[in-house]
Amino acid sequence: DKSGQGIIQSLFYITYTVSSGMSGIFLSFIGPATLFGTSQLLSGLLSLLIPFIADQNPLATIALRSVQGILLVICYFLSLIKS
């Protein structure tokens, strides 16, 4: 339904915002190039799974979108450092 889709879409941005502080911690342990490439690769692979998981279980879709939000906030902050 529409409300479920809205929740799934908004959780991506909620976790994106909440996890922004963690990106600095990861950056101090892992180099920026490795961290950027790994987070982009994992986020892309998870995007490929969305159609299959969405048909199976809405809670798994919520978890998947939340993980994507965490991965992409890392990419965002790394792009700020590089520029």
Contact in structure between 25 and 82 (CB atoms under 8 Å): no
The whole-angstrom separation of Cα 25 and Cα 34 is 14
The whole-angstrom separation of Cα 75 and Cα 35 is 8
Could you report the per-residue pLDDT of 41-74, keeping only the tens digit for each?
Answer: 999 999 999 999 988 988 898 889 888 888 888 7
What's the pTM? Answer: 0.69
E strand residue ranges, the chain = none
pLDDT band at 32 (very low <50, low <70, confident <90, very high): confident
